[in-house]
Structure 1
Amino acid sequence: MVATTYFNRDLSWLKFNERILMEAERNAVPLLERIKFLSIFSSNLDEFYRVRMPVLLAFEKLSNREDNDIKIQDDLLKSANDLISAQQQRYGKALTQDIIPDLKNHHIHLIYGAAYPEAIQKTVTQYFLSQVLAFLQPVILTEQTSFFPSNNKLYFIVSLRTNGESKTVVLNIPSDELPRFYRVDQDGETFVVFVDDIIRYHLDRIFPGQEVTGCYSFKITRDAEIDLKDEYSGSLSEQLEKQLLKRDLGLATRFLHQPNIPDDVMALVKKVFNLKKANSIEGGQYHNLKDLMSFPVKSDQLSQPSWAKICNTSFIDGTLNEAIYKQDIVVHTPYQSYDSILRFFAEAAIDHTVEEIYVTLYRVASDSKIVNALMSAAKNGKKVTVLVELKARFDEENNIKWAKKMKASGVNIIYSVTALKVHAKVALVKRKLEGRMHYAGLFATGNFNESTAAFYTDHILMTADKEMLREVELLFIFLAKRIKPGPGHFIEFKHLLVAQFNLQDRFLQLIDREIEQAKLGKEAAITIKMNNLEEKVLISKLYEASQAGVKIELIVRSICRLVAGVPGMSENIKIIRIVDRYLEHGRVFVFHNQGNPDVFLGSADWMNRNIYRRIEVCFPIKDQKIMQEILDIINIQKQDNVQAVTIDAEMNNVPVKNNEKKVASQQAIYEYLKA
């Protein structure tokens, strides 16, 4: 028996990021794809330091107070730091000992930790003088300096000596203003140089007549604004909020720096930049390796073969709307083209029979064709109502920009209430035909965002099911009131599962039904696919189901607090995690129901925030053909023995090993849908 009933959510997330790293380490993965996985790992880790590390630091402080009964897992902070440190070591090894030598075998030279070859020095110097120099802003560092390093931006600490006097300068690395990498092709060889090194090797031109005695790269990661009510409840949330409010705006949570900075320089930097509470971590010479996503080499030979998008609405002769009235249609992105969804909104914008359009927007594409269609619809005289979630973390600015544009175009904008995010992905179009109102709509597991649809696996249902769509209309009427659900504000949803109303209760009832079947000696099974599994009430109910004999198969991409395979607790539960070329994002819920399965799709993970502090919508699949398609896709994923790992009782990612035919599920799903 393991020592815990629930894994820690933050350690579980770090183990997910380790799964990303495993793809970068695999020789079977094409070389340029391995570089992308290194980039994703780095980006994820930066977000962890911005979003989660401030909470862990606050927990640690509260837990150590004698007057507080809040306790956290022993050595949680140390465990997180140890995990990160071990992963960083693996990262460095994969990059320097595997990937860079492999690139060299293909005549691609990523100059890393060494001077660039003499053959390209003249070209690089010309680039420095004409492009890089104009962006440099050296700042002399003293105890009186008021310079504030920006979050996750790159800098050098440069030690100088002039006429026997020493001084310290902070020098920016303009990796946002310029490409991080500069490429030079010469004599059949490709050289890729960090902009960091272009600056480093021209310090004599930046500081003429001064001796450079040291140059050390660094970056500071600052905490992101955290809505702790989104994660914790009651007094715990309040105490954490108070703890974090004691800190300066944008507290530094990580000071990542090159080794061997002299002690006196380090002391000055920490004092001036207020780094006393930050994790001070020695890293390599280069930071922000998420920039590897823009590695300036393209090669079909060294990349995954591209898959042409499947258009599953090409059979439609008339309008998409007419086809939806005849039968439900499902789109599985990114295997199938997102053009069908764009077409849905574009047709609605110009259709003279359309009177009203309603849609929720959580993360909007930076150049959104959907939003442009909604603005056109409003200008064409239709009543357009859009709920824009302004609290979508890291997308706040983009969402505000689009909300202002839509409002100026005549769109009616609704914002969610302060303590409640609207994470549902639904749309409704109302048409008036021959004096009667007709409904058509979309239900999705992912955002209405054509950019992320290119690499997120999601499911979008197009339907004219009036029962479901009338409930969507009721939901929009409620949301327009801008009040939190509570006594006197309840809507009875019979078909949709809506968080804050009936979602958790319905899922518990569906699990209970399987438990009753198992107790009667009948076949009982549950299959669930989601991004994150954290909420204890639902996890406990799955444990209860396992103990009753229900066979439970989970596909959980990221955070997973459930501990599987423990005798007497969860021996009938199996968990796999799939990481491949696309980001697994769809949520699917399948309940056996004596061989007549109930299948739901939706926006809701089983996390505290989704269950208790968001508006989420899960929806039933009624069309038997579509239901079978969903079941086939899920069954393919359950057979994956190439890209899947199991999550064992120690939280490790264990590759699936069996003697069955090799199945890489994303490839198999693409072939299935193409056929």
Structure 2
Amino acid sequence: MKSAVYFNRDLSWLSFNERVLMEAAKPNLPILERIRFLSIYSSNLDEFYRVRMPVMMWDYEAAKMKIDQQQQRYGEIIGAQILPELEAQKIYWLYNKPIPSMISEAVTALFFNEVLTYIHSECIADGLLDFFAENNRLYQVVILRNHAGEERMELISIPSEDLLRLYAIPVNGAQYIVFLEDIIKYNLAYLFPNDQIQGAYNLKITRNAALKIGQDDAEDITLALEKQLEVRDYGFATRVLFEPGIPLRNLYYVIYALKLQKAALVQGGTYHNLKDLSAFPLDEKVFGYPKWPAVTGVKIAENESLFDHILRKDLLLNVPYQNYDAVLRFFNEASNDIHVTEIYVTLYRVARNSRIVNALMTAAKNGKKVLVLVELKARFDEANNIKWAKQMKSAGVKIIYSSIDLKVHAKVALVKRSINGENQYLGLLATGNLNESTAKFYTDHILLTAHQPMLQELESLFSFLSRKDKSPAAEEPIDFKHLLVAQFNLHDTFLNLIQREIEHAKQGLEASITIKLNNLEEQVLINKLYEASGAGVKIQLIIRGICCLVPGKQGLSENIHVRRIVDRFLEHGRIFIFANNGQQEIYLGSADWMNRNIYSRIEVCFPLYDLDLKRLIEEIITLQLQDNVQAVNITDQLQNEEINGSPAIRSQEAIYHLLQSFNKE
């Protein structure tokens, strides 16, 4: 196929970030949540520059044009919508506005009482050979002129990592919100009393965040990663974001002095690092979303254990609508159950204060064999994972790591019990990380099961992961009949499942495919979906982020419909539904259809066999396919097309109410 039949992955990702920006523009959304979506957009764009820009040589100008359009829209949302709405409630966010006299005394007091001790400046002269501009750090370029008329520049480091970025100052029933850098700018005369201040302009440098771990590091990947993390923020600069109005001669001198000539020059707004808007100083109870208290996911009788419950019937937790208690209880029971002999877990992104990890350490201290595969190469979570790996190892947990070239992205756990000399297995298989923090705002699905044949396959997978050589070709492949495991049978099985729908469609039988993913890129699977569309298979896709498949294109994908949902929770679960002529098969799992997931990771997808749980997932997906409030259609031109319909259906709210009623049954 020609490349024209695929969307570019980076432009598709920018389309997703545009969808985030659309939330910030919704007047019916609580004002604090709109500001938070501005924060998410900014954070996403920072990561794009850190991770994708260094490798994106295909068409930088196309991406830059898209980003410029979005940045202009970003400014319009703040200026024309957010600021007036805040002011109507006597909240004055001083965004591109001078500090008024009624708060000048308070601003000066903040500067002297809280800010001044953190202020450091460097004179920009002679190339600044001994100064390094840090990654994503905010700076202020101050242009000064002395009494002799000589010009010089000072570079002030804005201490936003040590202090609040936004300060709320109450005055006479109103509230003024001031940026930290404006507090500094207001008091520059104190810092430079012998100079005339010609101007002060904000600046930010973004650097490449890639870590370079090679085969030579395989013997001690922990040490190699720690060394790389020490220098991560010292990578080459990919972007210099500068405030409009700075004279070009001054800007270029700063670029030269800081050795940033190879970075992309990007004119932004006055303020940078607007991901800090996530901590905007407004009362969440008044200005945020109404609360949706998580419902109890599992009701357990007082005289039984969670393990007893799982042995009787599979359980499916749907977070964050349902609480995470059963997952925590699963590990707590495993650590103390007298019948448990062995516990196996994969950890990808670990919570900062992980109760799961503490339960695993308790299990090891209680004499149980505990084996944990910690994926150290989880981007931006490497340091936290290293910390926990060391603590677990000290507690007696056996720690293993994935190989250099093979990430373990599966989210699984296995508990092995010995009952009267017989082995009994209980397992946890999930679409998201074993992380009690992200479980509060990521939508994921967690299966707790005692399906023995499936869990015996999981034991075989852990045996494979425990080997020093983690190449699937190193020995006879595992015969997975229930689990779909990347590097083994996942890719081929999905191709075969699509092919079966094609055959059914050709025979006039019931044939359809519904898939929910975070990202869709891998071209072999995309081509197979195109083939299925051509055969008449109805295909519904829910893709949150990157989507390289072009939907609804004549002669290619007429029968494929793609939608994207962005709401208060981050859509994260992966779901695969195949009609199979009325004998529906449903899989959940960790695997997106990206090249990295298919070809360079260990992923696990797992079937749902319980009829009640299959019906529940069907209902959840049906609500998402009916969403006409938070969902958009992705068009064949890569546009986010809003959906209008009546009655209004907001899927996340409807799912929350569905699970409330499901819990009462």
State the TM-score, normalizing by the size of structure 2.
0.94
TM-fit CA distance, 1:209: 2.0
The correspondence of residues 333-372 of structure 1 with structure 2, limited to 5 A, is: 333-372=319-358
Q: Does 1:450 align with 2:433?
A: no
Deviations 1:413-472 (A, max 9, x none): 000000000000000011122222211110000000011100000000000111111111
- Name the counterpart of 2:140: 156
- Name the counterpart of 1:626: 613
TM-fit CA distance, 1:227: 6.9
- Name the counterpart of 2:30: 30
- Name the counterpart of 2:263: 278
Output the CA distance in 2 between the equivalents of 1:520 and 1:351. Answer: 53
Are 1:2 and 1:566, in contact at CA under 8 Å, matched by a contact in 2? no
Runs of 4+ with deviation above 4 angstroms: 226-229
TM-fit CA distance, 1:532: 0.2
For residue 83 of structure 1, what is the amino acid of its counterpart?
K
> Can you give the 5+ residue segments of structure 1 that lack an aligned partner in the other structure?
60-71, 230-246
Output the CA distance in 2 between the equivalents of 1:552 and 1:299. Answer: 40
Residue of structure 1 aligned with 2:207, choices 222, 226, 229: 222
For residue 156 of structure 1, what is the amino acid of its counterpart?
Q
TM-fit CA distance, 1:263: 3.0
- Name the counterpart of 2:228: none
The correspondence of residues 427-506 of structure 1 with structure 2, limited to 5 A, is: 427-483=413-469, 484-486=471-473, 488-506=475-493
Output the CA distance in 2 between the equivalents of 1:606 and 1:227. Answer: 25
Residue of structure 1 aligned with 2:119, choices 121, 136, 161: 136
TM-fit CA distance, 1:249: 5.5
Residue of structure 2 aligned with 1:400, choices 382, 386, 411: 386
SS of the equivalent of 2:428 reads: strand
TM-fit CA distance, 1:562: 0.3
TM-fit CA distance, 1:124: 2.0
TM-fit CA distance, 1:267: 2.3
Output the CA distance in 2 between the equivalents of 1:489 and 1:333. Answer: 37
Residue of structure 2 aligned with 1:590, choices 533, 555, 577: 577
Output the CA distance in 1 between the equivalents of 2:301 and 2:13. Answer: 43
The correspondence of residues 535-614 of structure 1 with structure 2, limited to 5 A, is: 535-614=522-601
Output the CA distance in 1 between the equivalents of 2:584 and 2:236. Answer: 50
Deviations 1:96-144 (A, max 9, x none): 1100110111111111112222222222211211111011111111134
Output the CA distance in 2 between the equivalents of 1:601 and 1:458. Answer: 10
Q: Which moved more, 1:483-492 or 1:125-134?
A: 483-492
- Name the counterpart of 2:273: 288
- Residues 487 and 400 of structure 1, relative CA distance in 2, 3 Å threshold: closer
Output the CA distance in 1 between the equivalents of 2:62 and 2:120. Answer: 39
Output the CA distance in 1 between the equivalents of 2:5 and 2:201. Answer: 45
Over the aligned positions, Cα root-mean-square deviation in angstroms equals 1.7
> Can you give the 5+ residue segments of structure 2 that lack an aligned partner in the other structure?
215-231
Output the CA distance in 2 between the equivalents of 1:487 and 1:433. Answer: 34
SS of the equivalent of 1:646 reads: strand
Output the CA distance in 1 between the equivalents of 2:104 and 2:582. Answer: 70
Are 2:633 and 2:642, in contact at CA under 8 Å, matched by a contact in 1? yes
For residue 272 of structure 1, what is the amino acid of its counterpart?
A
Output the CA distance in 2 between the equivalents of 1:478 and 1:333. Answer: 30
TM-fit CA distance, 1:226: 5.6
Output the CA distance in 1 between the equivalents of 2:277 and 2:561. Answer: 35
TM-fit CA distance, 1:487: 5.3
Are 1:152 and 1:221, in contact at CA under 8 Å, matched by a contact in 2? yes
TM-fit CA distance, 1:653: 0.3
The correspondence of residues 239-250 of structure 1 with structure 2, limited to 5 A, is: 250=235
TM-fit CA distance, 1:256: 0.3
For residue 506 of structure 1, what is the amino acid of its counterpart?
T
Output the CA distance in 1 between the equivalents of 2:71 and 2:122. Answer: 30
Q: Does 1:413 align with 2:413?
A: no
Are 1:257 and 1:284, in contact at CA under 8 Å, matched by a contact in 2? yes
Output the CA distance in 2 between the equivalents of 1:250 and 1:390. Answer: 20
Are 1:495 and 1:620, in contact at CA under 8 Å, matched by a contact in 2? yes
Are 1:143 and 1:268, in contact at CA under 8 Å, matched by a contact in 2? no
Q: Which moved more, 1:580-589 or 1:210-219?
A: 210-219
Identical aligned residues as a percent? 54
For residue 624 of structure 2, what is the amino acid of its counterpart?
Q
SS of the equivalent of 2:597 reads: helix
Output the CA distance in 1 between the equivalents of 2:259 and 2:15. Answer: 31
Are 1:142 and 1:268, in contact at CA under 8 Å, matched by a contact in 2? no
For residue 526 of structure 1, what is the amino acid of its counterpart?
I
Q: Which moved more, 1:111-120 or 1:582-591?
A: 111-120
- Name the counterpart of 2:299: 314
Output the CA distance in 1 between the equivalents of 2:366 and 2:440. Answer: 30
Are 1:390 and 1:415, in contact at CA under 8 Å, matched by a contact in 2? yes
Are 2:139 and 2:158, in contact at CA under 8 Å, matched by a contact in 1? yes
State the TM-score, normalizing by the size of structure 1.
0.93
For residue 500 of structure 1, what is the amino acid of its counterpart?
Q
Output the CA distance in 2 between the equivalents of 1:603 and 1:453. Answer: 15
Output the CA distance in 2 between the equivalents of 1:579 and 1:248. Answer: 31
For residue 529 of structure 1, what is the amino acid of its counterpart?
K
- Name the counterpart of 2:218: none
SS of the equivalent of 2:292 reads: coil
TM-fit CA distance, 1:3: 8.5
**What is the aligned residue count?**
640
For residue 385 of structure 2, what is the amino acid of its counterpart?
N
